[in-house]
Structure 1
Amino acid sequence: MTPAIPGFTTTLLPGADGVRLSAAVGGSGSPVVLLHGFPQTHLMWRHVAVRLAADHTVICPDLRGYGASDKPAATHEGVYGKRAMAADVVAVAGALGHDRFALAGHDRGALVAFRAGLDHPETVTHLGILDVVPTLDMWDVLHGVRAAVGYHLFLMAQPPGLPEAMIAASADAFFGSFLDAWAADPADPAADAAIPDDVRRAYLRASAAAVPSIVADYRASAGVDIAHDQADRDAGSQFAMPVTVIQQDWGAALGYDAAAVWRAWAPDLDHRLSTSGHFMAEQAPDEVTAALRDLLAR
C-alpha cells in the first residue's frame, strides 16, 4: 500500500499545457503550496504538511514528470523547464480557487519555486527555499573536485539517450544512492529512520517509472533554465516577496558566500543554515515548520 499524508486527500488537477498534476490537499486557511525535491515525491512533506494544515490549506503536488503526475514527452527543452513547471503550480492552485498563495520548495521543487517567484510576483506572496543554490549560480560554484558532489547534474545534462539508458539500467541503485548519501550522518540510525522503508520504496518505485522525465528536468537546468535566469539577472529582477532560505553550509563546503548569492536575488531575505541533512523536511520537520511559520508571519 502506498503511504499517504495523514488527513490529506489526493486529487488530479489541471496544470499548464494540458498536463495534470496529482496533489495531496489538506487543512484550511490561507494557502501554502509545498514542492518536493529529487528523488522524492510530495510525500517528503508529510510531517511539515500536517503541522501547517492546523491553520493553512496545504497543497502538495507531485511535479510534472514525477510521482503520480503526468509525464509528457520532452519534445523540446521547455517541456521540463522551470517556467513550465512553475506555470503548473499556479494553475493547480487556481483550480483549487487560490489566486494568491505562499510557496515553498525543496531541491528541484525549490528551483520551480524560484522561477514561480520571478514569473508570478502577483501570485506568490511568500517564498521558502530549502537547500539549493539558484541554477545560474549553481553552475558557477561547482568547479574542480568539489563538483563531484553534483556529478548527477553533469550526467543528466548530456544529450538524450545515454543518461536515460545508464540510469534505467540500475535505477534503484542510482536513486537509492542519493537517499543514502544525502543524510547528515548515514551511520546514524535516527537519520535512516527519517525515510522509513515504505516511503523509500515509494520514492524508488516512482523514480524508476520516471527516468526520462527526471533526466529531462535536470537537462533543462543546463539549458533553458539558465537562459531564463540570465535574462532576469540582466534585467535586474529580484523577488518582490519575503524569502526564507534554509540550507546546509554549502558556502563553506564549496567556497562561496551563500547568503550573498541569495541576497542578490532576494532583498527581503532570511537566510538560515541548518545542521540537518539534505532531506531536512523529513529529518528536521520542526525546524523547517518553524522557519516557514516565521516566513508566513512576515
Structure 2
Amino acid sequence: MTLSIPGFDHVRLPGAGGVELAAEVGGSGSPVVLLHGFPQTHLMWRHVAERLAGEHTVICPDLRGYGASDKPAATGEDVYAKRTMAADVVALAAALGHERFALAGHDRGALVAFRAGLDHPETISHLGILDVVPTLDMWNVLHGVPAAVGYHLFLMAQPPGLPETMIAASADAFFGSFLDAWAGDPAAIPAEVRAEYLRASAAAVPSIVADYRASAGVDVTHDQADLDAGSQLAMPVTVVQQDWGAQLGYDAAAVWRAWAPDLDHRLTKAGHFMAEEAPDEIAGAIRDLLAR
C-alpha cells in the first residue's frame, strides 16, 4: 500500500509536455514546493511538510520518472533534463494556482530546483538546496579515490542498456545500499517507508537511470552555458549539506557562492537523508529562508 503524508490530499496534475505528476498537497498560506531525492519519493518530506503546513501551502510532488508520476520513455536526452523536470514543477504549481512559490529540493530534487531557479527567476521566490552542488561542479570535484562514493553517477552515465540491466537484476540490493550507506540515523527511515522507496525505485529503473544519464550530458551543457553567460540565482538561497568539501577537498560554500550571491550556507551533522533524520533543523532552515 502506498504511504501518504497525514492530512495531505493526493492530486495528479499536468507537468510539461503531456507528462502528469503525482503530488500531495496540504496546509494553507504562501506556497512551498518540496522536491525529493534518490532513491526516494515525495514521502521523504513527510516530517518537514507537516511542520510547515501550519504556515504554508506545502506541495510535495514525485519527480517525473519517480514514485507515482509518469515515467516517459527516454526518447531523447531532454526528456529527463533538469530543465524539463523544472518545467514540470512550474506547470504543476501553476495548475494549483501558484504563479510564484518557494522551492526546496534534496539530492536529485535539488538539482531540479537549481535549474528552476536559473530558468524561472520570476517564478521562484526562494530556493532551498539540500546536500548537493550543481551538476557541473559535481563532476569537477569528483576525482581520485574519494570519488568512489559517487560510483553510481558513473555507472548510470553509461550508454543505455547495461546500467538498466545490471540495476534491474538486483534492484532492492542496489537501491537499498544507498539507504544504508548514506543514512546517519537508519532508524529515521522505518521499515514501511524503506519498503515503499524500494518498491517505487524497482518500478522505475529505466527512468531513474535516464535522469542520471542526463546529468552526465545535457545538464552539464545547460550549466556550462549559464556559467559562460554569467547567470546567477537571483533569489535568496539556503544550502544545507554535509561537509562534503572537507571529505572531497573543495570549498563547498565558495562553489555555491559563485552561483548564489544571496547565500546562507549551512553544514549539518545529520546524514544525507537529513529531512528525515533532522526534520526540525531542516524545517527551521526553510523557515529562515522564507523570512529573508
- TM-score normalized by structure 1? 0.98
Aligned-pair identity (%): 84
How far apart, CA to CA, are the structure 1 residues paired with 2:151 and 2:119?
29
How far apart, CA to CA, are the structure 2 residues paired with 1:159 and 1:183?
29
2:169 match: 169
User: CA deviation digits over 1:11-34, x for unaligned, max 9?
Assistant: 111000000000000000000000
Amino acid at match of 2:122: E
Query: Please, which runs of 5 or more residues in structure 2 have no aligned partner?
Result: none
Deviant stretches of 4+, over 3 Å: none
Amino acid at match of 2:231: S
Match of residue 199, structure 1, among 189, 193, 197:
193
How far apart, CA to CA, are the structure 2 residues paired with 1:192 and 1:176?
11
Secondary structure at the counterpart of residue 271 of structure 1: strand
The structural deviation recorded for 1:70 is 0.1
1:234 match: 228
Query: Please, which runs of 5 or more residues in structure 1 have no aligned partner?
Result: 185-190
Q: Is the 8 A contact 1:105 1:130 kept in 2?
A: yes
Q: Is the 8 A contact 1:45 1:60 kept in 2?
A: yes
1:223 match: 217
How far apart, CA to CA, are the structure 2 residues paired with 1:3 and 1:224?
33
Secondary structure at the counterpart of residue 40 of structure 2: coil
Q: Is the 8 A contact 1:63 1:69 kept in 2?
A: yes
- Superposition RMSD in Å: 0.4
How far apart, CA to CA, are the structure 2 residues paired with 1:256 and 1:144?
13
User: CA deviation digits over 1:262-295, x for unaligned, max 9?
Assistant: 0000000000000000000000000000000000
2:208 match: 214
The structural deviation recorded for 1:97 is 0.2
How far apart, CA to CA, are the structure 1 residues paired with 2:138 and 2:76?
23
Secondary structure at the counterpart of residue 70 of structure 2: coil
1:262 match: 256
The structural deviation recorded for 1:3 is 1.6
2:130 match: 130
How far apart, CA to CA, are the structure 1 residues paired with 2:100 and 2:91?
11
Match of residue 283, structure 1, among 266, 274, 277:
277
The structural deviation recorded for 1:171 is 0.1
The structural deviation recorded for 1:2 is 2.1
- TM-score normalized by structure 2? 1.00
How far apart, CA to CA, are the structure 1 residues paired with 2:183 and 2:12?
31
2:26 match: 26
1:111 match: 111
Q: Is the 8 A contact 1:2 1:198 kept in 2?
A: no
Secondary structure at the counterpart of residue 266 of structure 2: strand
How far apart, CA to CA, are the structure 1 residues paired with 2:223 and 2:12?
30
How far apart, CA to CA, are the structure 2 residues paired with 1:161 and 1:256?
34
